[in-house]
Amino acid sequence: MSHKEDFTMDNAELELAKLRAAPITPKIRLQIPPQDMPAQDPAARRSNMEEVALGYTPAQAMLEAERCLQCKNAPCISGCPVRIDIPGFIGKIKEGDFLGASKIIKKTNLLPSICGRVCPQETQCQAPCTVGKALGGVEKAVQIGRLERFVADYERAQGAMEMPHVAPPTGRKVAIVGAGPAGLTCAVDVRREGHEVTIFEAFHKPGGVMVYGIPEFRLPKVLVQSEAEVLECMGVDFELNFLVGRTRPLRALMSEDGYDAVFIGTGAGLPKFMNIPGENYVGVFSANEYLTRANLLKAYMRGMAGTPIYPSRRVAVLGGGNVAMDSARMALRLGAEEVRVLYRRTREEMPARAEEVAHAMEEGIIFDFLKSPTRVLGDDRGRVAALEVLSYELGEPDESGRRRPVPIRGSEQIIPFDTVIVAIGNESNPLISHTTPELQVDKHGHILVDEKQKTSIERVYAGGDIVLGAATVILAMGEGRRAAQAINEILQ
């Protein structure tokens, strides 16, 4: 733990006392600086798997809460995909009623300890925040995500986790395919109404990307596990190691096994590669493979885990999103000497959460902006030896509004690497659609749904990354919730 933590803690208590000595005007509120979240020292954390961000202390949370202006129109709410009553819960924090704050959040968000940690707040709830706008920068907005995390962690630490109420049995059965955030959320909302719920999951642990992709140091797995336990306590049944489409056809769940409705939340599990020469050399991995080995199969616990991980010294990570940040930081923790992120555009265009980029930089990850590889070079044993890299400059904006990177002719250079991790995104896994031809998908393989998340098959709903393409945890949850509503309606 860093010295920084003690420093801010003392500071926050003093500041809070000072502040509350007199009536607080909006002007004063705007003068309170955004509270930093204590974090493990970068030098220490780059070689351990423990969580990087340590969370606010109660005093820090209350001080941060004082920054909120309690806007009447609350623009922040419209930035949150599940419409949490943000001023409402922040108001409770101000009063020191943390459990009350939690109650408000849980009305619309079942997994606050997770969302508080992984939501891209700077493009969601914090983007329209009045405080950020007034101070001229989204980074100065009220730190809604950090507050949400604080409240959720506080509730857990008190052992005060509340189980959602379950209505008496209705005799109806619902199958959920995939135990990612979309499936878990849908399961809770359907189960509440008293319907029987079974979740079918291909892996041996529930959580989806939250357990196999997002690393321990960013989202401790006990959090996901304890959410799954809440579902179990509610009477949700988990069938793990069950691949719908192979272990059992989707259709048979309804026609033979008696499920009245199905929700498909199978995620976007199909890794994209660069399609450049040399990509099959030993030492080139998809981020999915690298992270699954490291997270789900615990390859970082050498000696204990049966699953090996490639020993790397110089690692190139291709991409600029959360997946790229996670891969780079994981490689560092697994002992790499130098990790470089190669991204075709610049820092401004990076889709990763701002906090992850900042943390990665602090840890010593090197960023090569405006660069993209054209070729992987191998040695005589077929192992990665280097990348041929082309430099780019930013040209005219493209259809996404971002300036298009244009290659600079003749700028190729050879950079030595022994490992390449491709983190340029995922497409949708075609297994279910291939084994269920009547299920309509678009040209990218995303399942087509209507405004109620219903697919082309009666009583079959879908949501999350399999519909949206690679999106976010909270959007997946929002879709799971909307589907649950529709399912509950038809089962009434």
Partner 1 sequence: MHGTHRIVSKTQLSEEVFRIEVEAPLVARERKAGQFVIVMYDEEYSERIPLTIADADPVRGTVTLIFQTVGASTHKLALKNPGDEIVLLGPLGNPTHIERFGWAVCVGGGIGLAPLYPIAKAMKEAGNRVTVISGARTKDLLIMQKELVAIADEHIVVTDDGSFGRKALVTEPLKELCMQSPPPDIVVTIGPPIMMKFCAETTRPFGVKTLASLNTIMLDGTGMCGGCRVAIGDQTKFVCVDGPEFDAHLVDWNGMMMRLGTYKEIEKEAHDRCHLEMQIAKLEAHAADKESAK
Residue whose CB is less far from ligand SF4, 129 or 197: 129
Residue whose CB is less far from ligand SF4, 84 or 350: 84
Report the nearest approach of ligand FAD to the CB of residue 367 (Å): 18
DSSP at 480: H
Answer for which of 64, 148, 153, 356 binds ligand SF4 (CB under 6 A) is: 148
Report the nearest approach of partner 1 to the CB of residue 243 (Å): 6
Let me know how many helices (H) and strands (E) the chain has, helices first.
Answer: 20, 16
The number of angstroms, rounded, from the C-alpha of 37 to the middle of its chain's C-alpha atoms is 19
Q: Does 70 bind ligand SF4 (CB under 6 A)?
A: yes
The C-alpha atoms of residue 330 and residue 216 are separated, in whole angstroms, by: 10
Residue whose CB is less far from partner 1, 293 or 353: 293
- 95 within 8 A of 62, measured Cβ to Cβ: no
Residue (of 222, 193, 270) closest to 432 by Cα position: 270
Residue whose CB is less far from partner 1, 204 or 452: 204
The C-alpha atoms of residue 319 and residue 341 are separated, in whole angstroms, by: 7
DSSP at 256: T
Provide the Cα torsion 298, 432, 426, 485; round to 10°. Answer: -90
The number of angstroms, rounded, from the C-alpha of 182 to the middle of its chain's C-alpha atoms is 12
Q: List the beta bridge partners of residue 89.
A: none
Answer for which of 68, 93, 231, 332 binds ligand SF4 (CB under 6 A) is: 68
Where do contacts with ligand FAD occur on this chain (CB under 6 A)?
118-120, 177-183, 200-203, 208-209, 213-214, 242-245, 265-267, 269, 291, 322-323, 326, 353, 429, 431-432, 464-466, 470-474, 476
Answer for which of 16, 61, 74, 317 binds ligand SF4 (CB under 6 A) is: 74
Report the nearest approach of ligand FAD to the CB of residue 104 (Å): 21
- 429 within 8 A of 269, measured Cβ to Cβ: yes
Q: Does 286 bind partner 1 (CB under 8 A)?
A: yes
Structural tokens at position 79: 């930035």
The pairing of strands 413-416 and 426-427 is unpaired
Report the nearest approach of partner 1 to the CB of residue 326 (Å): 15
Q: List the beta bridge partners of residue 39.
A: 53
Site residues (CB under 8 A) for partner 1?
201-206, 232, 237-243, 246-248, 269-271, 273, 279-283, 285-286, 288-289, 292-293, 297-298, 301, 303-308, 310-311, 381-383, 429-431
Site residues (CB under 6 A) for ligand SF4?
68-71, 74-76, 80, 82, 84, 86-87, 109, 115-116, 119, 121, 124-125, 129-131, 142, 144-145, 148, 474
